[in-house]
A and B are shown apart, each in its own frame.
Chain A
Amino acid sequence: VSAVVPDKISPEEGWRLWSVGAGLLRSLHKDELWHPQVAVRASCREPRTRTLADVPHASPAAACMCGIYAAADPAVALGHAIDGPVVLGRVALWGTVITGTDGWRAELAYPKALAIVTTPQPFASKLAPASVVRELSVTYRIPVEEIELPGVTSVHGDRAEPLSAVLRRVWM
């Protein structure tokens, strides 16, 4: 039984990107697979702060930059693609959570739904094929959502721009 009184009883839901490896979702910036039916737990391997350098700490820590990241806006998540093909999806976040203006850092996470993004070339080639997304949804026992790119607008800070503009800027 946890000694901590929770502040909330329903997970946050954010957006993030994965690559695909060995038929599983893989974190983009870490060589880490997300295994089916197992919550991913954050750990800090490379402290990026002076105050917590070389100090073991629970993740996410306010004084560090560690944790499982998710964006509040799907366009912001897509804008962080460093290479393709990628899978966009919603993710449930719980445990210790830190909210930022653009998203969250969390202790625990599991995919909530995967997205098939309808988008014209050249962006389509950066996204995993719909067949791969559907196979992953079966593996993780989560639904697939279809998103039409032109209808999505990114709001990043005080700036709003169409997702297509975000992707053109980041991916081209």
Chain B
Amino acid sequence: MEIGDEAEPYVIEPIEDPVPQEEPAPDEIEPELVPA
């Protein structure tokens, strides 16, 4: 693959991790976050 004429390199540091994280198991969820 080619990307054509290029500009100068730059740096991206995402605020949110672009890699999906493992969801916590039900027993790892804090009780107050579980709806009654």
Contacts and interface: CB of A to CB of B under 8 A. Distances in A.
Interface of A: 2, 4-12, 16, 29, 37-39, 60, 62, 69, 71, 76-77, 80, 92-105, 110, 112, 140-142, 157
7 contacts: A62-B6, A94-B13, A97-B10, A99-B6, A100-B7, A103-B3, A112-B18
Interface of B: 1-15, 18-22
A121 B25 CA distance: 44
Given A10-B12, A71-B3, 12 more contacts: A4-B13, A11-B12, A11-B18, A29-B1, A38-B19, A62-B8, A71-B1, A80-B1, A96-B9, A98-B9, A100-B6, A105-B6
A140 B6 contact: no
Contact of A9 (B4, B14, B19): B14
Nearest to A104: B3
B10 A110 contact: no
Highest count of chain A CB atoms <10 Å: which of B3, B10, B15, B19: B3
A91 to B, nearest CB: 9
